[in-house]
Amino acid sequence: MKFLLIFIFAFNFIFDFSSARTSESLKVEIEDGKIIGGWMTSLSGKIIRAFMGIPYAAPPIGDLRFKAPQKVKPWGNVSLLAQKEPPMCTQINTFNDMYSETVYGQEDCLYLNVYTPEITKKITKKLPVLVWIHSGAWLVGHAGYTDYSPEYLLEHDIILVTGNYRLGALGFLSTEDEYSPGNYGFKDQLEILRWVKKNIEKFGGDANSVTLAGESAGAAAVNYHMFSPKSRGLFHRAISQSGHLFNPWADPAHKGKAKENAIRLAEKLHCSKSGISTKSLIECLRKISAEEITRVLRDLPVWDNDPLIAFQPVIENFDSNEEPFISELKYEKLSLDIPWIVGITSEEGLMKSASFFNNAEKLKELEENWKKILPVTFYYDHLPENEVDEINQKIYNFYFKESSFSNNKENLTNMWSEGWFGGFFDNLSYRFKSNDRENTFVYLFTHKGAASFSEYFLGEKEEFYGTCHVDEIFHLFPIQKYFPDYMSAMPTQEDRKITEIITKLWANFVTFGNPTPNYSEESKFPIWKPATKFPLDFMKIGNENGASEILLEMKKDLYPERANFWIELRKKYGLHLWAFDLNGRDEL
């Protein structure tokens, strides 16, 4: 009996201790079961509750490959330990290593993360929510904290949600029929938004105050959700950084192109032969490993890594058992009534041109073959040959005139800046025609920081060419802390100031729908005037060529000549589908 009492006492002590050591604020019960989170700290040391690796959909494997996400199986009373970074989705990096055979991640990857401030008496109301869609050309990327840690944004009283979605062929392959409708990556993102709607209040969040944000392909995805009726009511504000649905790589595939690419991939995997049905093709691809399907993506580019996105979104205007994400192409049905921050960096095109500056042989190849390269890189190679020739000459004359690619590196960068990212201006043009509310906030990010993504895009490590595509992300998320390539680039005092500014602007917008609400605390910031027409009112964020002490300034008329050139070019030749009828070139 004595030993029994000792055992019971010891058992009760251990049970009480184990119950007590887990903070109550880290225990949350959502629709699918109980979860236990962990904690981390913000830049200044504020406590952050971190719930990582929460499954939001069933693993898209086996028969669920090439299908919309399915409901996750509840785990009931067994507490899910949500304290580890989730696995990334299957991917191969063709950005800076075209010849790599290394495939990362796994197919069972549909997990999300929720980061919230510590629950204290100070926080007396539901917190606004920022849902972040990661970048990576719908080909690579990860929502884990090593890519998108909350340390900067959670200096402010908001909730951050990040999530994985399927990539490459596994996320966007379409046979343009019921057997593989496509847009699975977007449908995964939609499921994340639905999850937030159902569960975020359990974390202290406000399901009626959600901002959807992203950069590059993540930003273009935000635009698609602004368009899709399936996403209506699931978010209330939007932020699009360096990515827009009018950019050529973000355009939906021309009719027949998606199916053509699906067959092309299937042929390389011995899943296609003459006369095979799309049903049999997809059944065959479901038996191939995710790694093999993903590895084939490196064989699809025509030149260098272009076209960068082989599997584009599709308009699902065909019979299918799945609910379509987008089934029509009318721009005026876009959700234009929500507040929107939208902007670009000053040298976006370094994403492509930086590698030429650091590789004389590659630059020479461009000089000798530009008439074949430009139509591929800017997605107009589907046009008749005479029109391709006309566009080639117009682009060359506009940027280079009597010079050459190698003698005008600034314009080489500008060409890719506008050619890949200038759809931003078309987007605004249509928005202004459709909406007269003052809720569009435009920015230009110009900061030259200690580190630049031009290095990632194969530029010189110790030389900065400008403010590259993705460079503003250094100031929203602590990438330098987790990416070994950037650990030798210590943030400067000015970098830290930009981080303080941009996170405050973004947090204000997430909270109020306005980056500079007119109250006393914000008097140190210039008021960010909304853009309502051309010439554009815009906020310049960052220094000027590394010299100016002014880090935040309202300006007017953003790149008018360069913007107009591409707007007119796209209109004349129908270079994107959003502004033109599928059956012709009449403006909608």
Claim: this prediction has a pTM higher than 0.85: yes
Residue 25: exposure state from Cβ atoms within 10 A (0-12, 13-18, ≥19) = middle
Name which of 370, 353, 361 is nearest 418 in CA terms: 353
Question: Residues 6 or more apart from 264 whose CB is under 8 A from it?
Answer: 300
Determine the 3-state secondary structure of 204 from DSSP.
coil
Q: What is the pLDDT along the chain (588 residues), one digit of tens a residue?
A: 444 444 333 434 333 334 456 788 889 999 999 999 999 999 999 999 999 999 999 999 999 999 999 999 999 788 888 899 999 999 987 665 555 678 999 999 999 999 999 876 666 789 999 999 999 899 999 998 888 999 999 999 999 999 999 999 999 999 999 999 999 999 999 999 999 999 999 999 999 999 999 999 999 999 999 988 899 999 999 999 999 888 889 988 888 889 999 999 999 999 988 778 999 999 999 999 999 999 988 888 888 888 888 899 999 988 888 889 988 877 666 666 799 999 999 989 998 888 888 888 888 888 889 999 999 999 888 889 999 999 999 999 999 887 777 777 888 999 999 989 888 888 888 788 776 567 999 999 998 888 877 777 766 676 778 888 898 998 999 987 777 777 677 788 888 999 999 999 999 999 999 999 876 455 678 899 999 888 999 999 998 655 556 788 899 988 888 888 988 888 888 776 554 433 333 333
Q: Which of 543, 133, 138, 96 is nearest to 346 (CA)?
A: 543
Listing DSSP states for 376-410 in one string gives: HHTT-TTS-HHHHHHHHHHHHHHHTTTS-TTT-HH
Q: Which residues pair with residue 445 across a beta bridge?
A: 345, 541
In our burial notation (b when 16+ CB lie closer than 10 A, e otherwise), range 252-290 reads bbeeebbbebbbebbebbebbeeeeebeebbebbbebeb
Could you tell me the strand order of the sheet in which 33-36 lies?
Answer: 27-30, 33-36, 76-81
Inter-residue contact 494 to 543 (CB < 8 Å): yes
Nearest to 349 by CA among 249, 266, 278, 274: 249
DSSP 429-489: HHHHHH--SS-EEEEEE----S--TTTTTT--TT---S-BTTGGGGGTS-HHHH-GGGTTS
Q: In terms of C-beta distances under 8 Å and separation of at least 24 residues, what long-range contacts does 282-285 make, across chains too?
A: 282/66, 282/175, 282/179, 282/180, 285/65, 285/66, 285/173
Q: Which amino acid is at 98?
A: M
Q: How far apart are CA 166 and CA 500, in angstroms?
A: 33
Q: Do 577 and 329 touch, CB atoms closer than 8 A?
A: yes
- Tell me which amino acid residue 366 is: L
The dihedral region occupied by 132, where left means phi > 0, alpha psi between -120 and 50, and beta the remainder, is: beta
| Dist. CA 525–CA 553, nearest whole Å | 9
pLDDT for res 488: 73
pLDDT digits (tens, 9 = 90+) for 462-506: 677 888 889 899 899 998 777 777 767 778 888 899 999 999 999
pLDDT at 584: 32
Instruction: Report pLDDT for 236.
Output: 95
Angle between helices 423-434 and 560-573 (to 10 degrees): 80
Residue 428 CA to residue 335 CA, distance in Å, equals: 13
CA 38 from chain centre, in angstroms, equals 26
Distances (CA, A) of 121 to 124, 125, 200: 6, 10, 19
CA dist 271 and 301 (Å) reads 20
Q: What pLDDT shows up at residue 525? A: 87
Catalytic residue IDs: 216, 348
Nearby residues of 60 by Cβ (< 8 Å), 6 or more positions away: 67, 69, 70, 107, 108, 110, 166, 170, 184
Helix axis angle, 560-573 to 385-399, nearest 10°: 170
- Amino acid 479 reads I
At 91-140, the pLDDT tens digits run: 987 665 555 678 999 999 999 999 999 876 666 789 999 999 999 899 99
**Coil, helix or strand for 77?**
strand
Instruction: Write down the pLDDT at residue 6.
Output: 40
Which pLDDT belongs to residue 523? 61
Q: Let me know: does 212 contact 219? Beta carbons within 8 Å.
A: no
Helices (H) and strands (E) in the chain, counts: 16, 14
Tell me phi and psi for residue 286, to 5 degrees.
-70, -20
Q: In 3-state terms, what secondary structure has residue 47?
A: strand
Q: Convert the pLDDT of each residue in 301-342 to its tens digit.
A: 888 888 888 899 999 988 888 889 988 877 666 666 799 999
